[in-house]
Amino acid sequence: MEAFDTLIAVLDSTVRLSVPLLFAALAGLYSERSGVFDIGLEGKMLAGAFAAGAAAAVTGSAWAGLAAAVVVSVFFALAHGFASITHRGNQIVSGVAINFIAAGSTIILGQAWFSQGGRTPLLSAEGRFNALHLPFADAMRDIPIVGPIYSELLSGHSLLVYLAFLLVPFTWWALFRTRFGLRLRAVGENPAAVDTAGISVAWLRYRAVICTGVLTGLAGTYLALAQNAGFVKDMTAGRGFIALAALIFAKWKPVPVMFACLLFGFLDAFAIRIQGTPLPVIGRVPVQLMQALPYILTVVLLAGFIGRAIPPRAGGVPYVKER
């Protein structure tokens, strides 16, 4: 029974840790499926987190924070789009630039506005997305097996957690069951064909990067307003890149993306849990190994050991109408 409780606690932690990855990876999915590679997820998330922290600190409202985060992230996404779609610049260079600009500007603005070294003031409960308690969570706690699963694992997360998981089926539906989704995927595979059909390649890709901006804004909001109580410099700590790894690992498909993020989140949660305690059979596992595992798994995948990860064919290539 104790092992079961531990498992529930680790899974609960997994959910919390995988949510920012999930938002960011889904964000990358829209952009990359449309043929715009985006390694600026990290930067957009960071900018979003800062905007959320700053706006929530000033207005005292979590929703205002969310709105600001989405606006700022979309702005950064459009900047990436402007460079790589309209001006056909190198998408990797543009993405790296976004990361640098976000890392620097958040600290400078934060320092100028709040004088706390790039930090935003600590938020009170009204300024955050607090844990929601599902109905009957307390009443069901004592029922064996089902009780803990419901009241610990499913209940007690912030609104954004539920939103993240709802976005998975939504993304699947949007990409594979709507006209917009079909065109989006087509423009990532063969933009010339889409263009021939009389649909604007640039406009489609712009819409895709706007989706990316909205989702990275949500990721940043989750970090700043749900998991923490304010923005701290560089608080994304590489999650944008892990999300990118998850996206590649999941071969650019929404449902596998969710499982990849959960897997990476689980590795993190598990690493925290087992730190310092020897495991049966294996003995003490170095924490460093657990932390490197997401990257190792992705490299193994890319090397072709677990199937093949084939990116969208037109990914990274700016569309030129006529040569």
Cβ atoms of 122 and 230 closer than 8 Å: yes
User: Is residue 13 at the binding interface for another protein, with CB under 8 A as the rule?
Assistant: yes
Is 19 a binding residue for another protein by CB under 8 A? The answer is no
| One of 46, 51, 211, 235 touching another protein (CB under 8 A) | 235
Q: Are 211 and 30 in contact (CB under 8 A)?
A: yes
Shortest spacing between CB 275 and another protein, in angstroms: 5
- Does position 16 interact with another protein (CB under 8 A)? The reply is yes
Residue 279 pairs in a beta bridge with 283
Nearer to another protein, 184 or 229 (CB): 229
Mark the segment that binds another protein (CB under 8 A) among 141-149, 158-166, 191-199, 228-236.
228-236
Classify each residue of 276-310 as buried b or exposed e, where b means 16 or more C-beta atoms within 10 Å of its C-beta: eeeeeeeeeeeeeebeebbeebbeebeeeeeeebe
Q: Which of 77, 186, 225, 232 binds another protein (CB under 8 A)?
A: 232
Looking at residues 118 to 157 of the shown chain, list those that interact with another protein (rule: CB under 8 A).
118-119, 122
Q: Is 9 in the site for another protein (CB under 8 A)?
A: yes
> How many residues form the binding site for another protein (CB under 8 A)?
33
Question: Is residue 112 part of the contact set for another protein (CB under 8 A)?
Answer: no
> Closest separation between CB of residue 32 and another protein, Å?
25
> Which tokens sit at 213?
């901006």
Among 139, 166, 182, 237, the residue binding another protein under the rule CB under 8 A is: 237
Binding of another protein at residue 257 (CB under 8 A)?
Answer: no
Rounded to an integer, what distance in angstroms lies between the CA atom of residue 71 and that of residue 132?
25
Nearest distance in Å: CB 273, another protein: 6
> Rule CB under 8 A: is residue 229 a binding residue for another protein?
yes
Binding residues vs another protein (CB under 8 A): 9-10, 12-13, 16-17, 20, 111, 116-119, 122, 223, 227-230, 232-235, 237-238, 268-269, 272-273, 275-276, 287-288, 291
